[in-house]
Structure 1
Amino acid sequence: MTNLGDLEVFVRVIAAGSMSTAARDLGLSPAVVSKRIKRLEDKLGTRLLQRTTRQISLTEAGQGFHERVLSILAGLEEAEAYASGRSSEVNGILKISAPTSFGRLHVAPHLKSFMRAHPDLAIHLVLSDELTDIVGGGFDLAIRIAELTDSSLVAKRLAPVRRLLCASPGYLAEHGIPETIEDLKSHRCLPAHNNDSWRLEGPNGPVTLRPEGSLITNSSEVIREAVIGGLGIALRSTWDVGGELKTGQLVQVLPAYESSRNVALSAVYPSRQFLPAKVRLFIDYLAELYGPVPYWDL
């Protein structure tokens, strides 16, 4: 049977991205870590890692092995917590991925309360607008805003997401208020990315638009500031601009059209038979915090 400690070393190497960093985290020498990885590969009869002078990467066999080892270690952690009656007492590190703006506005401000309730737990929050490889990146869970498709991952819906067309009163006073979807062709539109399509649900069913604008950026936060500043019409989520809509800095445009209701805020995590207590507790915390009618829509 494979040594459990070797599995833990293997997982730590992948999470750290290098043997030297993993060795430092584990309090071992790089030579010992390298020896234990080689022993594991010899035991399995296959190469798990591709090594270069600058980085390591998983082989195809290593990728599948890593996914299964994560599941095994998570199951052991949950089994220990269950057997010892510590299912609500968690420690270690909870590694989370979240979209940049949402994480800054609606995750970071609420960490204090959760961490105060679980003082032995450390949070590693990574904000990125790129689609995160949860397994490869060693994440416990990712927060995603999307219409999720079938995958090997498990998703728990946390809250609905409303996306609507909006503009500043100043822009509408200067350029007029569009009365139909066709009118948008004569307006300045602000897609989050230059090739983004706007998928809307209207009175006559779904509508897809490919808006064109004079501002090109890969930053959703830049678009947010642009629409508030009066540069055009944008499709924005209420979690992002709900405050500006309430104060009148922004006005909803074409209110009969909003984005697909299939888009939702979800917590996504690797499929595991036993969900680690730290992941379950954090997902439950967010679900209660946001709820079926999130606070930004009230």
Structure 2
Amino acid sequence: MLLPDIRTFLAVASAGSLSAAARQLDVIPMQVSRRIAALEEDLGVRLFHRTTRSVTLTAEGEAFIPYARSMADAEAGARAELNPSPGKASGVLRMTAPSGFGQSVVLPMLPALLEANPDLRIDLDLSDRQVDIVGQGLDVALRIAPLEDSELVAKKIAPNPRLICAAPAYLKKHGRPTLVSELDHHACIRLGAVKQWPLVVDGALIRKRVDAYVTTTSVEAARTAAVQGLGLAQLTYWDVFRQLADNSLVEVHLQDASMEDLSVWAVTPSRRYVPNRVNVFLGALQGQIAELGQSYGRPS
């Protein structure tokens, strides 16, 4: 397989047509068609369904995408490693992040990142589900949930402990719980179908069942509901740091329990051939978190 053929395949898959891919690659459409035909002959499979009006991926083409991206990224990583000035990032950074963290931390940093790296493009999936980064052909995933054992490579970016918080108006009206048992008498805001909150009691992680007045799958919705005084919410520091700073939310401390220590992790498919755009992004993210920590305070 030739790398120009692989890059052409990725361009057609992204653009959805041979002519659009040709414009993107600055070649004639006939050259694109020949490269795709050569790649299909080399692989022994048909990668695209072609009609006079459209080009769509076959099942084999869909399956080949992550491998093609891996090979293209390996070449880009090698060039970046040998480049005497590798500070600039280029290409498409494909990533996923939890919705709350993405909205509060990642999105605000993108204007400065893109201005400093004009050849960089961002493909960002904000989702609280764990995405298969290898199968989806992603460069990096930011994760906050406890990491499961896998062959993926994880790098700790920053601490991000869980905390219980509520609006001052709610606490003034309903009182502030100080013991785990007192949570039974409070309205709680629950994320998803999980009916229990993780708490650390006597050094052991327990699951405390809470009575949900509001249940939502969205971190942003849970935060908004808490600010509106609808109950107690258990979120993470980087989900609510701005609200803690402006006092629209206050942290609730329990005397007989502490919160689970979580962290923000950057997960990549491999230690080898990490594209320069990933390293540039992660460096910018760490700088962003350090700057926010100075402005808003650091999680304890």
Partner residue in 1 for 2:260 = 260
Partner residue in 1 for 2:152 = 153
Partner residue in 2 for 1:98 = 97
Distance 1:54 1:81 in 2: 32
Distance 2:297 2:200 in 1: 19
Partner residue in 1 for 2:288 = 289
Partner residue in 2 for 1:222 = 221
* CA shift for structure 1 position 27: 5.7
8 Å CA contact 2:219, 2:239 repeated in 1: no
8 Å CA contact 2:188, 2:232 repeated in 1: yes
* CA shift for structure 1 position 74: 1.7
* CA shift for structure 1 position 82: 3.2
8 Å CA contact 2:144, 2:265 repeated in 1: yes
- Please state whether the residue corresponding to 1:227 is helix, strand or coil: helix
Q: Are 1:112 and 2:100 an aligned pair? A: no
Report how many aligned residue pairs link the two structures: 293
Distance 1:54 1:217, change over 3 A: farther
Which range is displaced more, 266-275 or 118-127? Answer: 118-127
Unaligned runs of 5+ in 2: none
- Please state whether the residue corresponding to 2:144 is helix, strand or coil: strand
8 Å CA contact 1:143, 1:267 repeated in 2: yes
- Please state whether the residue corresponding to 1:236 is helix, strand or coil: strand
Q: Are 1:141 and 2:140 an aligned pair? A: yes
- TM superposition score normalised by structure 2: 0.80
CA offset digits 1:35-59 (Å, max 9, x no partner): 6445434322356679999964644
* CA shift for structure 1 position 234: 0.7
Distance 2:58 2:185 in 1: 49
Distance 1:233 1:7, change over 3 A: same
* CA shift for structure 1 position 151: 2.5
8 Å CA contact 1:153, 1:269 repeated in 2: yes
Distance 1:48 1:260, change over 3 A: farther
Partner residue in 2 for 1:209 = 208
* CA shift for structure 1 position 115: 2.8
* CA shift for structure 1 position 30: 8.0
- Please state whether the residue corresponding to 2:189 is helix, strand or coil: coil
- TM superposition score normalised by structure 1: 0.81
Which range is displaced more, 70-79 or 219-228? Answer: 70-79
What is the 5 A alignment of 1:23-42? 25-26=24-25, 36-37=35-36, 39-42=38-41
Partner residue in 1 for 2:78 = 79
Q: Which amino acid aligns with 1:101?
A: G
Unaligned runs of 5+ in 1: none
* CA shift for structure 1 position 286: 1.5
Which range is displaced more, 130-139 or 233-242? Answer: 130-139
Q: Which amino acid aligns with 1:201?
A: V
Distance 1:150 1:241 in 2: 28
Partner residue in 1 for 2:278 = 279
Distance 1:35 1:146, change over 3 A: farther
- Please state whether the residue corresponding to 1:191 is helix, strand or coil: strand
* CA shift for structure 1 position 66: 4.1
Distance 1:197 1:87 in 2: 47
8 Å CA contact 2:114, 2:121 repeated in 1: yes
Partner residue in 2 for 1:191 = 190
Which range is displaced more, 5-14 or 22-31? Answer: 22-31
Which range is displaced more, 288-297 or 96-105? Answer: 288-297
Q: Which amino acid aligns with 1:297?
A: G
Q: Which amino acid aligns with 1:260?
A: E
